[in-house]
C-alpha cells in the first residue's frame, strides 16, 4: 500500500468512525432527511464539513509550529494525553452505568447552512481531537509535512464525515434506532479505544523520558495490553443489568412469561395485552424503568386494565417472540387488543403520555 493511500485510509477511517456515533450534527442531517428536506440536509452537511476541514487545516499549522517549539509541544502532548484519558473515563463511566444520551436539535428553524456552521463551530472537541490525531499520525510517520500529504489528509477527513452524513440521511430513523439500542456497546468500544490511545501516548511520553530500549518497550507494551483486556472484561461483567420491575409500589407491574402464555392470560381476563420487549444490556430500557414505568398514573391505569408482560429478547421466550414479530430496536413495545389482534408497535424510548394514549385506544 502506497504512503498516500495509507494516509487517506487512516484519515478517512478516523473521520468516519468519529462521526458515526449519534450527535447533534448527524442527528440534524437525519432530521432534515426524514422531513423530506434533502436540500437542507445537503447544505447543513456541507457547512459542517467546511468548518471541520478548516479546523483541521488550523490544527496542521498549529502542530507544525509546536514541533519547532519542542518544550511547548511536549507540554501540549501531555495535555492531549490527559484530555483523551478524561474523555475515555467519561465514556466508560456512561457505559458502566448504562447512561443514555439525549438527542438535542438546537437552532431548529434556522437556515440549514448557518445552523451547520454554528453547530460545527460550537463543537468543543473539533480542534483538540484533530490536533491530537495530527500529532499521533506525525509521530508514527503516517502524515508528513508535505503540502500534498496535507491535501490528502484534509480530503480524506471530509470524505469520511460526508459518508457518515449520507448514511444518516439515507438510513435516518432506522440507523438511529439501531445505534440507540446498541449505545451501551458503542460506549464500551469508544471508551476502550480512547483509553488505549491515551495510555499508549502516555507510555510513549514516559518511555522517552526514561529512555527505554526497543525490547523493553515491546515487553512493557505486551503487559499493558494484557492489563487492558483483563480490565475491560472485568468492567463489562460488572455492568448493571436491566430487570423489569415485577412488584412496583406505584408503577406498572410486569409478568415474565412467553407471548403465548401472556395471550392466554389476556384472553381469560378479557383484557388487552402490553408486551415490553427489552434486553438486559439496553440503556434505554433502564431509562424507561427509572423515568416512565414507575409513574403512578401508568400503574393505576395499566395494572387495572391491561395484562403487562416483560420479555427479554435474548431469552428463549424472546427468540420465539422475534420469530413472530421482528424486533430491530430495544425496547420495542407491542400492544394487543382484548380479542388478541395486534394494535400497535412502538420502538425506543416512549413517554408516559404516549403510553396513556395507547392504552386508551386499545379495544377492551
Over residues 221-246, mean pLDDT: 56
Q: Which domains does the chain carry?
A: 3-238 (no CATH), 259-361 (3.40.30.10)
| Pairing status of strand 273-278 against strand 307-312 | parallel
Residue-wise pLDDT tens digits, 179-189: 555 555 666 66
**346 contacts 197 by C-beta, under 8 angstroms:** no
- Pick the more confident residue, 194 or 264: 264
CA distances to 63, 304, 335, 354 from 364, in Å = 68, 12, 12, 18
Which sign does the torsion angle of CA 135, 137, 142, 146 carry? negative
Residue 131: Cβ within 10 Å count: 23
Residue 131 has pLDDT above 50, yes or no: yes
Over residues 213-228, mean pLDDT: 57
Task: Give the list of residues 6+ apart from residue 200 with CB closer than 8 angstroms, or none.
Answer: 221, 224
Kindly give the interhelix angle for 173-181 and 24-34, rounded to the nearest 10 degrees. Answer: 140
Burial status of residue 67 (CB atoms within 10 A of its CB: 0-12, 13-18, 19 or more): middle
User: What percentage of residues in the chain have a pLDDT greater than 90?
Assistant: 18
Residue 161 has pLDDT above 70, yes or no: yes
For residues 17-38, one letter each, b for 16 or more C-beta atoms within 10 angstroms of the residue's C-beta and e for the rest, the string is ebbbbbbbbbbbbbbbbeeeee
* Phi-psi sector, 335: left (phi>0), alpha (psi -120 to 50), beta: beta
CA distances to 40, 271, 275, 278, 290 from 347, in Å = 27, 23, 12, 11, 17
Three cell numbers at 143?
502524515
Over residues 69-74, mean pLDDT: 59
Range with the poorest average pLDDT among 145-149, 280-284, 293-297, 319-323:
280-284
Residue 245 has pLDDT above 90, yes or no: no
**337 contacts 305 by C-beta, under 8 angstroms:** no
Nearest to 130 by CA among 59, 48, 53, 47: 59
> Cα(332)–Cα(324) distance, rounded to whole angstroms?
13
**pLDDT at site 119:** 80
Average pLDDT score, the chain: 77
Three cell numbers at 88?
475515555
Question: Which three-class secondary structure state does DSSP give residue 248?
Answer: coil
Residue-wise pLDDT tens digits, 307-324: 999 999 888 888 888 888
Q: How confident is the model at residue 129 (pLDDT cuts 50, 70, 90)?
A: confident
Question: Which three-class secondary structure state does DSSP give residue 311?
Answer: strand
Sheet holding 342-347, edge to edge: 307-312, 273-278, 332-336, 342-347
Residue 240 has pLDDT above 60, yes or no: no
Residue-wise pLDDT tens digits, 19-48: 877 667 877 787 777 667 788 889 999 999
Report the predicted TM-score, pTM, of the whole model to 2 decimal places: 0.50
**Which DSSP state fits 255?**
B
Over residues 229-246, mean pLDDT: 55
Residue-wise pLDDT tens digits, 85-116: 776 676 666 655 555 444 444 555 678 898 88
> Cα(137)–Cα(129) distance, rounded to whole angstroms?
12
Amino acid at each position: 500500500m502506497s504512503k498516500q493511500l495509507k494516509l487517506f485510509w487512516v484519515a478517512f477511517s478516523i473521520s468516519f468512525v468519529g462521526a458515526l456515533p449519534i450527535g447533534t450534527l448527524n442527528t440534524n442531517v437525519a432530521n432534515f432527511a426524514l422531513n423530506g428536506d434533502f436540500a437542507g440536509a445537503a447544505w447543513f452537511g456541507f457547512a459542517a464539513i467546511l468548518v471541520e476541514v478548516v479546523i483541521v487545516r488550523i490544527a496542521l499549522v498549529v502542530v507544525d509550529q509546536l514541533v519547532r517549539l519542542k518544550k511547548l509541544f511536549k507540554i501540549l502532548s501531555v495535555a492531549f494525553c490527559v484530555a483523551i484519558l478524561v474523555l475515555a473515563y467519561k465514556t466508560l463511566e456512561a457505559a458502566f452505568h448504562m447512561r443514555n444520551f439525549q438527542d438535542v436539535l438546537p437552532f431548529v428553524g434556522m437556515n440549514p447552512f448557518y445552523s451547520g456552521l454554528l453547530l460545527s463551530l460550537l463543537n468543543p472537541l473539533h480542534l483538540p481531537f484533530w490536533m491530537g490525531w495530527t500529532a499521533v499520525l506525525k509521530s508514527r510517520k503516517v502524515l508528513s509535512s508535505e503540502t500534498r500529504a496535507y491535501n490528502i489528509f484534509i480530503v480524506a477527513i471530509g470524505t469520511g464525515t460526508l459518508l457518515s452524513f449520507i448514511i444518516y440521511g439515507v438510513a435516518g430513523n432506522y440507523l438511529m434506532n439501531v445505534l440507540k439500542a446498541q449505545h451501551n456497546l458503542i460506549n464500551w468500544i469508544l471508551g476502550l479505544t480512547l483509553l488505549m490511545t491515551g495510555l499508549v501516548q502516555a507510555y510513549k511520553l514516559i518511555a522517552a523520558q526514561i529512555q527505554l530500549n526497543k525490547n523493553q518497550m515491546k515487553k512493557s507494551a505486551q503487559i499493558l495490553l494484557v492489563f487492558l483486556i483483563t480490565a475491560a472484561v472485568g468492567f463489562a461483567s460488572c455492568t448493571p443489568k436491566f430487570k423489569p420491575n415485577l412488584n412496583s409500589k406505584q408503577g406498572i407491574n410486569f409478568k415474565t412469561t412467553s407471548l403465548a402464555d401472556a395471550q392466554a392470560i389476556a384472553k381469560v381476563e378479557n383484557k388487552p395485552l402490553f408486551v415490553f420487549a427489552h434486553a438486559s444490556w439496553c440503556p434505554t430500557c433502564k431509562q424507561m424503568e427509572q423515568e416512565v414505568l414507575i409513574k403512578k398514573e401508568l400503574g393505576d391505569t395499566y395494572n387495572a386494565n391491561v395484562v403487562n408482560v416483560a420479555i427479554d429478547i435474548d431469552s428463549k421466550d424472546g427468540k420465539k417472540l422475534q420469530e413472530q414479530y421482528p424486533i430491530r430496536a430495544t425496547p420495542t413495545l407491542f400492544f394487543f387488543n382484548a380479542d388478541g389482534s395486534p394494535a400497535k408497535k412502538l420502538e425506543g424510548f416512549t413517554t408516559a403520555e404516549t403510553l396513556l394514549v395507547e392504552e386508551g385506544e386499545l379495544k377492551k
